[in-house]
């Protein structure tokens, strides 16, 4: 499973990594870049299908909580 995310709080990267570990999923790729007010992150996970489904549901809850960040990156972001 792969996820490309826009996060308001950079600490959410660590939250997602911890969730993956809790659900017995393995992070196979993590790329994150922070600019003032936003963090872009790309993840790739491996694990049992049920665990990946649960992980995705929790990631979606994090994204719902961070919804005020908006759908676009700040101007000037590469």
**By the 8 A CB rule, do 13 and 43 touch?**
no
| pTM strictly above 0.85 | no
HSE toward the beta carbon, residue 24, CA cutoff 13 A? 4
Range of the domain at 30: 2-69
9 token code pair: 């709080």
| Structural domain contains residue 76 | no
Phi, psi of 21 (to 5 degrees): -60, -45
Domains held by the chain: number: 1
For residue 21, give the CATH number of its domain. 3.30.70.260
Span 17-70, pLDDT tens digits: 999 999 999 999 999 999 888 899 999 999 999 999 999 999 999 988 886 544
């Amino acid at each position: 499973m792969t996820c490309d995310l826009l996060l308001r709080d950079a600490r959410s990267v660590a939250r997602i990594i911890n969730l993956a570990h809790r659900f017995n999923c393995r992070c196979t790729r993590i790329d994150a870049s922070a600019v003032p007010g936003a963090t872009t992150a790309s993840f790739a996970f491996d694990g049992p299908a049920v665990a990946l489904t649960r992980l995705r549901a929790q990631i979606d809850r994090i994204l719902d909580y961070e919804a005020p960040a908006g759908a676009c990156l700040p101007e000037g972001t590469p």
